């Protein structure tokens, strides 16, 4: 059982990771406003983060794996990096950083559905209620126009839901593979594969110093450092507590979007965003309760 000091450190690491990840949408807005496409932002996020994970893996001898495992990680990288990163940036572009962060965290619901299909996990009353609440919240976000109503449309919501679906792949892939491989190995292969997939599709645009600062921040701090810190916390806390703390990310992202970019939901939007977040907490708390019962 972890010591109290280790547990406190775990809370600090996970909270710090949530703070770091909450800035992705904020940092993406400036390059997007300068004409840099979401696909290029996704490429640089994967390329910079992947390069740092290569250095980390080589320095700690965590780069050697069997060809069959490399193939699985390659497929993970294509879907959950090569598609996910630019789609999340499109979600920010179309609906604003606040809405994008909220809809990204529909991921637990996709996990619930996948877990039912692939792992035969039960659908409890709490999970079903959460799914209904989340669906209603997403519907209200659609009606509200998102965080930037003058530019937002149904595309922003659809991209946000798609990013949540692809983000759920990180949870599912970790469930199967983190017992055998470190996060460094998984993300070295995943990020590099995603970057190579996006490379021939990117229309590179001229960038100023401020654009490079944002892109480097997204790749080095939000991606590489964020995952490293998160995994350090995960080793010190149980999965339920970690997941609950990480769901502070959309709350923090919404606050930052309001303060920095003057994004603002309508009353209907705030109600919808709150319903999505409440539903996420219901799913995670129910999962944690189920795990505790199984251990008794």
In the 3-class helix/strand/coil scheme, how is 228-271 assigned residue by residue? HHHHHHHCCCCHHHHHHHHCCHHHHHHHHHHHHHCCCCCHHHHH
pLDDT at 59 over 80: yes
The residue with greater pLDDT, 56 or 8, is: 56
Mean pLDDT for all residues in the chain: 81
pLDDT on residue 78: 94
42: closest CA among 92, 102, 103?
92
Two tokens, residue 26: 């904020």
Rounded to two decimals, what is the model's pTM?
0.77
Asked whether the beta carbons of 230 and 246 are under 8 A apart, the reply is: yes
How far is 288 from 296, CA to CA, in rounded Å?
Answer: 13
7-36: pLDDT as tens digits? 778 778 878 888 898 888 889 989 999 999
Alpha helices, DSSP H, located in the chain:
4-21, 24-33, 38-59, 67-77, 84-95, 97-104, 107-118, 125-144, 154-177, 183-198, 209-216, 226-234, 239-246, 249-261, 267-295
3-class secondary-structure state, position 147: coil
Most confident of 82-91, 177-186, 210-219: 210-219
Confidence of residue 126 (pLDDT cuts 50, 70, 90): confident
pLDDT on residue 139: 74
Domain count, the chain: 1
163: closest CA among 219, 80, 47?
80
Range of the domain at 118: 4-295
Asked whether the beta carbons of 249 and 21 are under 8 A apart, the reply is: yes
150: closest CA among 105, 189, 96?
96
How far is 147 from 47, CA to CA, in rounded Å?
Answer: 29
Cβ partners under 8 Å of residue 264, min gap 6: 147, 258
**b/e 29-55 (16+ beta carbons within 10 angstroms → b):** bbbbeeebbbbbbbbbbbbbbbbbbbe
224-269: pLDDT as tens digits? 999 888 777 767 765 555 555 666 666 677 777 777 767 666 787 7
How far is 133 from 108, CA to CA, in rounded Å?
Answer: 13
């Amino acid at each position: 059982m972890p010591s109290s000091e280790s547990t406190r450190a775990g809370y600090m690491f996970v909270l710090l990771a949530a703070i770091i990840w909450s800035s992705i949408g904020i940092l993406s807005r400036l390059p997007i406003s300068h004409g840099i496409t979401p696909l290029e932002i996704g490429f640089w996020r994967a390329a910079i983060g992947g390069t740092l994970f290569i250095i980390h893996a080589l320095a700690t001898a965590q780069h050697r794996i069997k060809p069959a495992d490399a193939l699985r990680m390659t497929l993970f990288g294509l879907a959950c990096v090569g598609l996910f990163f630019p789609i999340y940036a499109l979600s920010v572009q179309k609906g604003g950083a606040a809405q994008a962060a909220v809809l990204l965290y529909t991921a637990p619901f996709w996990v619930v559905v996948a877990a039912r299909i692939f792992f035969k996990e039960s659908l409890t009353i709490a999970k079903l209620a959460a799914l209904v609440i989340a669906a209603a919240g997403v519907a209200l976000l659609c009606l509200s126009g998102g965080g930037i109503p003058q530019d937002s449309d149904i595309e922003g919501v659809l991209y946000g839901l798609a990013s949540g679906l692809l983000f759920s792949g990180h949870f599912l892939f970790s469930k199967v593979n983190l017992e055998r491989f470190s996060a460094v190995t998984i993300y070295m292969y995943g990020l590099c594969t995603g970057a190579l997939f996006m490379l021939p599709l990117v229309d590179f645009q001229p960038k100023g110093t401020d654009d490079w600062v944002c892109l480097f921040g997204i790749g080095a701090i939000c991606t590489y450092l964020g995952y490293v810190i998160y995994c350090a916390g995960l080793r010190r806390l149980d999965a339920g507590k970690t997941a609950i703390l990480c769901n502070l990310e959309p709350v923090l992202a919404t606050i930052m979007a309001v303060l920095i970019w003057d994004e603002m939901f309508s009353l209907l939007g705030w109600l919808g965003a709150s319903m999505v977040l409440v539903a996420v907490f219901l799913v995670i708390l129910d999962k944690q309760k189920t795990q505790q019962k199984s251990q008794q």
